[in-house]
Amino acid sequence: MGMNVTGKNFINGEWKDSFTGETFESTNPADISEVVGVISRSSIADVDEAVKAARDAYHAWRLKPPPKRGEILFKAAELLVNRKQKLGELMTREMGKVLPEALGDVQEAIDMSFYMAGEGRRMAGETIPSELPNKDCKSLRVPIGVCGLITPWNFPIAIPAWKITAALICGNTLVFKPSSYTPLCATEFVKILQEAGLPRGVLNLVHGRGEETGEYLASHSSIDGLSFTGSTAVGTRIAKTCAEKGKKVSCEMGGKNAIIVMDDARLELAVEGAVWGGFGTTGQRCTAASRVVVHEAVYEKFLEMFVRAVAMLRIGNGLLEKTDVGPLINESQMGKVLRYIEIGEKEGAKLAIGGKAYREGDCAKGYFVEPTIFSDVRPHMRIAREEIFGPVVCVMKAENLQDAIRIVNDTDYGLVSAVYTQDVNKSAIAERELETGIVYVNASTIGAEIQLPFGGTKRSGFGHEEAGGRGGALDMFTKWRVIYRDFSGTLQKAQIDR
């Protein structure tokens, strides 16, 4: 190709081209004439080499005391702080989200790195009394071994940080396959971890397409666990593969999240939440609020305010300060969004605003679609049931709180929901009845913090949750070992010696 390969594989402590020497390009979705980087395209041999490197490095890394592993993560967090601006700008060029959001993505990685570094001194088990004399009982966390990590393009540093920092602090070694749409963000993050002092082979990076490199890694016989974030279709397939091979698996998948707006809601606040939830990251979040279920008494008023707010959004390159909504990630995503808009119109939903590709001025060479709102959407319509992953929001009418909750829960997904109400009793009922992993009260569907578990129910998630807190990623990246020590000097039989 004659072009400099800027995203190489990182295997056993060395940056190297793929075995075949093949490459692919990472382009800027706001202007596809800009090539952000040239990336190694991995073959099966590259993945095999990376898994072997991780396996070889496992014994020594597993025995390194967790507080010492934590020191490396603390150092990585400091490096992320210092490079936050540069990483944010690279992210905007590589995947399109507006710069303040890209900086927030890096901040999430900073927060997660500090948090998981601290887990090196916590990672608690239990010590429990025994029913027998002169015997003690305890449980402790041990690493699971070599883990494969597969991450998406929409949070190209935050989601890798969720998985990598948690897996490392627990003592696992890793093979990391980032999205082929954001390989340079992943490369810069791995460079930081290398600089922070990770030993050779502990973290290995292989670039490539999901259907080639990703699928092969997920089904590799020499890995012990796999953590995946991406579409429900792929996640379901990976979960099945791992179950058949007896591997630990965690899949974070899609969502069809909803905001409920009650008749007593503060409408200005609810509109802001719906705009942020629906059009933040151009709707390309698993937590996007693609449905808004509004009490019939305020439906018309809310819709009018929502459309007016969305009409003010400015579309363009995410590096420009005036931009509110950036491009979609690629041509196929753009085509999918436009097809769903067509489906919505055919189904009889009313196009309240938007609905077209946007090719004005500087946007002519990018994958831009106007922020789109459908009104008069019925729960059975495909646009209300299927994940579109773009700037399209369905507004639906409900008779009361019970009706709204029924509409929200009537979906295959269960990641996030939100309710806007000033009534503490209504919010309590919503908290109890909404069938999602996360519920927001008087806030949008976006804004999870890293110190609590992140994940969904139904087709939104399978296996352990992500992030911090009890039940977060430590449960994915460790297994429990229970120790019974009998120092009585006699044979004691639990449950029998009464």
Longest dimension (CA), the chain: 85
CB atoms within 10 A of CB 488: 10
Q: How confident is the model at residue 4 (pLDDT cuts 50, 70, 90)?
A: confident
What's the pLDDT tens digit per position in 418-427? 999 999 999 9
**Fold (CATH) for 9-253+460-483:** Aldehyde Dehydrogenase; Chain A, domain 1 (3.40.605)
Does residue 45 surpass a pLDDT of 90? Answer: yes
Q: What percent of the chain has pLDDT over 70?
A: 99
3-class DSSP string for 152-177: CCCCCCHHHHHHHHHHHHCCCEEEEE
- Averaged over 54-70, what is the pLDDT? 98
Would you say 409 and 390 are in contact if contact means Cβ atoms under 8 Å apart?
A: no
The mean pLDDT value of the chain amounts to 96
For 142, the 3-state DSSP assignment is strand
Does residue 227 surpass a pLDDT of 50? Answer: yes
170 is catalytic: no
**CA atoms of 458 and 55, how far apart (whole Å):** 34
Q: What is the pLDDT of residue 147?
A: 98
3-state helix, strand, coil in the chain (%, to 5): 40, 25, 35
Pairing of strands 457-458, 413-414: antiparallel
Does residue 476 surpass a pLDDT of 90? Answer: yes
Bridge partners for 205 per DSSP: 10, 176
Residues 6+ apart with CB under 8 A from 494: 131, 132
DSSP state of 192: H
- Averaged over 223-234, what is the pLDDT? 95
242 is catalytic: no
Q: What is the pLDDT of residue 269?
A: 98
Through-space distance between the first and last CA atoms of the chain, rounded to whole angstroms: 77
What's the pLDDT tens digit per position in 345-370? 999 999 999 999 999 999 999 999 99
What's the pLDDT tens digit per position in 247-277? 999 999 999 999 999 999 999 999 999 999 9
**CA atoms of 136 and 403, how far apart (whole Å):** 53
Does residue 1 surpass a pLDDT of 70? Answer: no
E strand intervals along 232-300: 248-252, 257-261, 289-295
Say how many residues make up the chain: 498
Q: Give 4 or 203, the one with higher predicted confidence.
A: 203
For 125, the 3-state DSSP assignment is coil
**CA atoms of 419 and 225, how far apart (whole Å):** 36
What's the pLDDT tens digit per position in 382-427? 999 999 999 999 999 999 999 999 999 999 999 999 999 999 999 9
Does residue 498 surpass a pLDDT of 80? Answer: no
Token reading at 388: 């579109």
Question: Quick check: pTM over 0.85?
Answer: yes
Bridge partners for 15 per DSSP: 10
Q: How confident is the model at residue 2 (pLDDT cuts 50, 70, 90)?
A: very low
- Averaged over 77-105, what is the pLDDT? 98
Q: Which of 170, 185, 251, 286 is catalytic?
A: 286
Q: How confident is the model at residue 3 (pLDDT cuts 50, 70, 90)?
A: low
φ, ψ of residue 63 to 5 degrees: the values are -90, -5
Q: Out of 3.40.309.10, 2.40.37.10, 3.40.50.300, 3.30.1330.120, which CATH number does the structure's domain 257-441 have?
A: 3.40.309.10
What's the pLDDT tens digit per position in 112-167? 999 999 999 999 999 999 999 999 999 999 999 999 999 999 999 999 999 999 99
For 81, the 3-state DSSP assignment is helix
Bridge partners for 139 per DSSP: 126, 482
Q: Which of 252, 387, 465, 466 is catalytic?
A: 252
**CA atoms of 268 and 332, how far apart (whole Å):** 35
Amino acid found at 211 = E
Q: What is the pLDDT of residue 99?
A: 98
- Averaged over 438-450, what is the pLDDT? 96
What is the per-residue burial (b if ≥16 Cβ within 10 Å, else e) of 161-176? bbbbbbbbbbbbbbbb
What's the pLDDT tens digit per position in 325-347? 999 999 999 999 999 999 999 99
Does residue 37 surpass a pLDDT of 80? Answer: yes
Token reading at 425: 């009793």
Locus of tokens 């015997």: 135
What's the pLDDT tens digit per position in 486-495? 999 999 999 9
Q: How many helices (H) and strands (E) does the chain have?
A: 15, 24
- Domain range summary for the chain, segments of one domain joined by +: 9-253+460-483, 257-441
Would you say 308 and 400 are in contact if contact means Cβ atoms under 8 Å apart?
A: no
Does residue 436 surpass a pLDDT of 70? Answer: yes
For 393, the 3-state DSSP assignment is strand
Nearest Cα neighbor of 363 from 27, 29, 26 is 29
Q: What percent of the chain has pLDDT over 90?
A: 97
Residues 6+ apart with CB under 8 A from 380: none
Angle at 190 between CA 65 and CA 50, to 5 degrees: 80
Which value, in Å, is the radius of gyration of the alpha carbons in the chain?
A: 24
Does residue 312 surpass a pLDDT of 70? Answer: yes
Cα 43 to the center of its chain, rounded Å: 25
Would you say 199 and 172 are in contact if contact means Cβ atoms under 8 Å apart?
A: no
DSSP state of 196: T
For 210, the 3-state DSSP assignment is helix
